[in-house]
Each structure stands twice: as structure tokens, then as C-alpha cells.
Structure 1
Amino acid sequence: MPTGPLDAITDVAGVEVGQTTLIRGDNVRTGVTAILPHAGNMYRERVPGGIFIGNGYGKLTGSTQVDEMGEIETPILLTSTTSVPRAADDLISYMLSLPGNEGVLSINAIVGETNDGWLSDIRGRHIAPEDVTNAIRDAKPGPVDEGTVGAGTGTVAFGWKGGIGTASRRLPATLGGYTVGVLVQSNFGGILTINGAPVGQELGQYYLRKEAGQVEGVKDKADGSCMMVIATDAPLDVRNLKRLAARAWVGMGRTGSSASNGSGDYAIAFSTASQVRIFTSDVSTTRRTEVLTNDAMSPLFEAVIEGTEEAIYNSMLKATTVTGNGHTVEALPIDRVVTILRQHQLTK
């Protein structure tokens, strides 16, 4: 399918992304990425959301309330594993401070993570309140920085440098003209596959290569995690948002993920369509709105599969080599990848 003009999650109108990148000394390589479904007061103007858990070996604060209520009432934050509680606390403080929220007594902060402990001092929990606040306040529409930024600063994917990646797909007018945007925080392993080509094997870096007669290294392990955030302007109810989130797993699988025991893989999908927005000022006990039917979902499924696959590739292709915490993780060697794809007749 064609991409949106930015090929980013921000191709979905209203969505904003902000990031704080922390690179300090020899061992701090971490950060925060904030995804805002819209620029208003998220608590007062909520969006419907659905979560799919591919493998629950991770920490996704706020997920149970989203599952129960189907509503997202804060920006979505991504960060480092041990910084999730601090980021959630900072997000709650930020939301409580907003004009109009003076009487709010409960905030369901949504914070996801991947483990950046190979390149960063994860035990130090270096995320500070201003890092969260800055990521949210700096959020904007338009192009999104990818690679070694924000929550992707210290991540590793398939033994190469991972990071933040994004992509989008736009349905043709005959199918509604809707846009699906995806943003990922890649930090997982397996056998890197691009457009069907066994890139990881041909580069000599892949899961289980010891068992295949090669020398095993830490970077060849398949553990890790992947956070996938999906935005769409299609008017979807919570049930179909969950179904949409589930298809992100198919896109992740196309990249060669081994879905390992130690890989915490989560997808969060939300709709920005005005007709499905939830206003706390609405005191009515009933709602009437139009949403897409089940039969209209298949093109959106294809869009999120393609978008997730590309976003993961982009997270690696835009990343740079990083040294930190006593280790070095190389960026994916793009020239060699292009050569492999040409050999498999998958690129010009």
C-alpha cells in the first residue's frame, strides 16, 4: 500500500511525537518517547484504544484499565524497563497539573518499555521528571526522528543497533482513504529477514547460530522486547482496535522475530476519529456513533502489517553505532544489506 506523505505515525492527523534522548558519560544511553493521540487534554478528551499482548514478559503500566474500559486518557510513553514506575509517576504529575484537571483523583498512566541494559546503566534509573515533561511538551506533528533517539537510544535488534522506527500506510479512497501509522521501539532478536531475504544469516549474526555450527555471542540472543503503537483515523470500536493491534504481531514476525520466552511484545492501537472520541463532559448514559464493520477491517489489517514491518526496518536503518556500558553495538551495515537484497532480486 502507499505510504502517507511523511511515512510516519504522524501521517494520522492530530498525532504528535516527542522524544528525550539521554547520552551521558560512558554508561547512560536511554530516553523517553511520547506519543500523543491529540494535542488537547487527554484526560478530558479520551480516545478509544485496544491492546494486544504477543508475549507478556514485560511491563506495560495501565494496560488492565485500557482492556477493561477501552479508553486512553494520557499520552503513551515508551522508556527503559526500570524507569517505567518513575516515568508513570512523572506522567501522572504532568496530567494532574493541566488546567481543567484540578479535581481529578485518578490517572491511568500508560507506559511501555524495553530493556536497554546492554548499552546503558539500567540500574541507575536515569529518567528524571523533566525528561518526561520535555518529551510530552516537545511533541509535535510532522517528521519523526528515528533510530538512536528517545526510548530507542540503548536498544538492540537482531544483534544490531535497534531504536525508534515509524511508518504509515494509506488506504485508497475506494476503501475509505483511512491512514494507519505505526511507531516501534525495537529491542528483540531472531533471524533478521528483510523482504523475505535471510539477511541475518548472510551477515553471520542470528539466533541459534551456535547450534548451526557458528560461535555464539551475546548479541545473537533472541531475548528483548518490542513496543508497537498504532494510530488510525478510521472510526473503530475497541474490539476492532484490539484486532488491529493483533495484526502488528504479523508484521513483527515478517522481520524474523523468534518470539522468544524473554521477549515482551505489546501493541497498542487507538483511533483519532472524532466520532469515537470520549468526552468526560458528556453526562449522557448512552452513545450513538458510526464505526466500521468487521468486513471493512481487512484492508486496515494489511496496512498495519506492512507499517509495522517497515517501522522495524526503519528503526535499524536509521540507527547509528553506539558504545556504552562497556559494550559496542554496530549499526546495520546498509551497503551489505543492499547487496544481499540485490542478490535475492529484492531491490534495484
Structure 2
Amino acid sequence: MKPRARELGLRPGQFAPGKLNAITDVAGVLVGQVTKLEGEGIRSGVTAILPHGGNLYAERVPAGLAVINGYGKLAGATQLQELGELETPIVLTNTLAVGRAVEALVDWTLERNPQALSVNAVVGETNDGRLNDIRARGIVDEDVLAALNSARDGAVEEGSVGAGTGTVAFGWKGGIGTSSRKLPAALGGFTVGALVQSNYGGALVMDGVPMGRALGKFYLKEHADKGDADGSVMVVIATDAPLSDRNLGRLALRSMAGLARTGAAFSDGSGDYAIAFSTHPQVRRPAPEGMVADWPNEKMSPLFVAVAEAVEEAVLNSLLRATTVESRDPATGKKRKVEAIDIEAVRAVLSAHRPE
């Protein structure tokens, strides 16, 4: 098993992680994944995040959205922004599978809600066409349904799995990563968890160490290499803090600070999206006894710090846990390969920058 960031001594920020250091440290959150490896070309998958295990259409959760660069196909985004709530799980997949994922998510929701006449299916994506034969449309309804139906709590598989199977980040193999932060009781005692689908570029920084420059792979190297900049990233944030959709939007926006700390280029061809939701039972819609007061604005700052830290570490975990992936280009017949980051090289750089 490849190491996570903390096993290499990387500990971004100041707050401690939850027990699992995963989005599932937020009680009730479930994650399901399907990894699709078929023939020499299909290298893709699906990751589903459920805010709770009940009927989400009947017990909706408040949510907020932040977009830095909108080069993406986030289905359901406008209604999410308008109403500030989720009525379906969040599904992540590849760019050309969004339509099929929406259909499957609608079917899954309608089956559980015979009275429903409208469903706002939320499906995010990144483009894994560098490794995946994306035009073959290898993701089908059954894959999405399998991810939804297999969702569970506990540890979350990371790296080249689920919606991260074919992704590339900073020129190395990207993937799914997760992390969490637990605030001390004096600051509310809440948990913030993040899950990322990393597929973006820039100059990789690991907990302040300029790893990309040290290993010779970064955006604008010699003012010519543009290949490691474009891409996209989906960030999903869960918290048990009783936040309104307004403050969840603020929380989602601050998650981008975590991406910035990893060296993100936020380039023209990158889609940078974050969705944040609250699982607190008193802010569900409809709430058992009506809506509770929003967590005060003046007490939001610790949550802002926590989300940036969790997102930063989730990205590092996505890279460190990823494995090398190979495929064949259907157009040219040539083999394609994206290497996982060299763990021993990372150790050496960290040792040089942080001598004992």
C-alpha cells in the first residue's frame, strides 16, 4: 500500500484530522466507487458521495457552490446555486459520461420517490482523455448505479480509483484523495471533510516544499511546456457544522486556498469547482422543528482554515496513493502511460528541505 501524506511526514496546517482522515469522518457521509478498466483503452470510473443514508430527495441538505474557472460540465449547478440545497447524491465521473450519469442518478432517485416530477441530478466531471478512451463512452448506467448502491462509511479508497482512474495532476498520475479536520471544542468541535478528483496542473507544492520544481516537472518550465497546466478538479466538502447555504458557499470558496497551496495554475482550460454541504440534522430541509439560526459569521474563520487544510492534504493523498496507469491511444495505436509520482524521490526532496 502506497503511503498517504502523513506517513511521509506531511502535515499541512494546524488542525488535527479526524479518525479516518477522510470525508467520511463527517458522520453519515457515504462514498461509493466503481473503477472501470476494460481492454486497452477504458481507464475511467465513478465516485458517488451521499450526504446521508436516508432519502436525500425527501430530506435535503443545504449546499453551496464555488467556481474559480468554469471550464467544465457540472450538471445541476444553477439549481444548486438558486435553492442552496442538494436533493441527490453528488456523482463524479469523466466529461463525456456526465449525460449518462445524470440519467442513472435520475433513475435511482425516481425509484425511491414515486411522487417526484423533477430531479436536480448533480454530476461533476474532469476530462480523463489523456489516459482513457473517452470517446468510447465506457461509463454506463450500471456503473453509476453500482457506485451509488455500494456507498458506505469508513475508509475511502484513494489514488487511481473511481472517477480518478484516468486523471493526471501536475504531470503525474492523479486521482481520488480525501482528508478531514476536527476543530477543537472551543471552536465548535465540528468536523470538515474533503474529497477531491485531481486532474489539474501547475507547479506541485507539498506542505510548502516546491516538489514540482525539485523533480523537474512544472507548468511553464522553459516557457514552453503547457502540458501540465490544463485539466480540472472537483472538490466535495462535508461538514457537520449547522451552516446555511450562504455560509456553505463561503466555505466552498475558501477550499480553493487549499488548491492554491498545492501550486494550482487555475489555467484557462481548467474547471475548478467546489461543492460544500452540511449534514447537521437541524438544517435539513424540511427541518424537524424549522430552520435553526445560521452559525454566526464571526465564528466561520476556523472552518475556513480547516477546509483549506483538508483540501490541500486530500490533493497530496490523491497523488501519493495513485498508481501508474497505461493504456493505448485508439486513434494512433500508441501506448500511453502516466507515471505515479516517485515516492522515494519525494522522500529525498523532503529530507533535503527538512533535514533532521
Please tell me the TM-score bracket, short chain as reference: over 0.9
Equivalent AA in structure 2 for residue 49 of structure 1: A
> Match of 1:97, SS?
helix
* Other-structure match for 2:310: 307
Q: Which runs of 5+ in 2 are unaligned?
A: 1-14, 329-334
> Match of 1:65, SS?
helix
* Other-structure match for 1:150: 162
* Other-structure match for 1:275: 282
How big is the shift at 1:290? 2.6
* Other-structure match for 1:332: 341
How big is the shift at 1:54? 1.0
Pick closer, same or farther for the CA change 1:206–1:290 going to 2, 3 Å.
Answer: same
How big is the shift at 1:124? 1.1
Asked if 1:175 is matched to 2:178, the reply is no
How big is the shift at 1:291? 2.3
Distance 1:301 1:221 in 2: 28
* Other-structure match for 2:206: 194
**TM-score, scaled to structure 1:** 0.94
* Other-structure match for 1:95: 109
Distance 2:123 2:285 in 1: 21
Distance 1:187 1:317 in 2: 14
Equivalent AA in structure 2 for residue 241 of structure 1: L
User: Aligned runs of 1:1-348 on 2, under 5 Å?
Assistant: 1-98=15-112, 101-211=113-223, 216=225, 220-279=227-286, 287-325=290-328, 326-345=335-354
Give the superposed CA RMSD: 1.4
How big is the shift at 1:30? 0.2
> Match of 1:278, SS?
coil
Equivalent AA in structure 2 for residue 22 of structure 1: K
Instruction: Tell me, yes or no, if the aligned pair for 1:34 and 1:76 is still in contact at 8 Å.
Output: yes
Instruction: Tell me, yes or no, if the aligned pair for 2:158 and 2:178 is still in contact at 8 Å.
Output: yes
Instruction: Tell me, yes or no, if the aligned pair for 2:283 and 2:291 is still in contact at 8 Å.
Output: no
How big is the shift at 1:75? 0.5
Deviations 1:166-194 (A, max 9, x none): 00000001111100000000000000011
How big is the shift at 1:288? 3.8
How big is the shift at 1:279? 3.0
> What percent of counterpart residues are identical?
57
Equivalent AA in structure 1 for residue 182 of structure 2: R
Deviations 1:73-119 (A, max 9, x none): 00100000000011001100111011xx1111000000000000000
Distance 2:72 2:252 in 1: 17
Moved over 4 A (4+): none
Instruction: Tell me, yes or no, if the aligned pair for 1:184 and 1:311 is still in contact at 8 Å.
Output: yes
How big is the shift at 1:335? 1.1
Distance 1:311 1:195 in 2: 12
How big is the shift at 1:252? 0.1
Distance 2:336 2:200 in 1: 17
Distance 1:242 1:71 in 2: 11
Distance 2:295 2:272 in 1: 27
- Count how many residue pairs are aligned between Structure 1 and Structure 2: 336
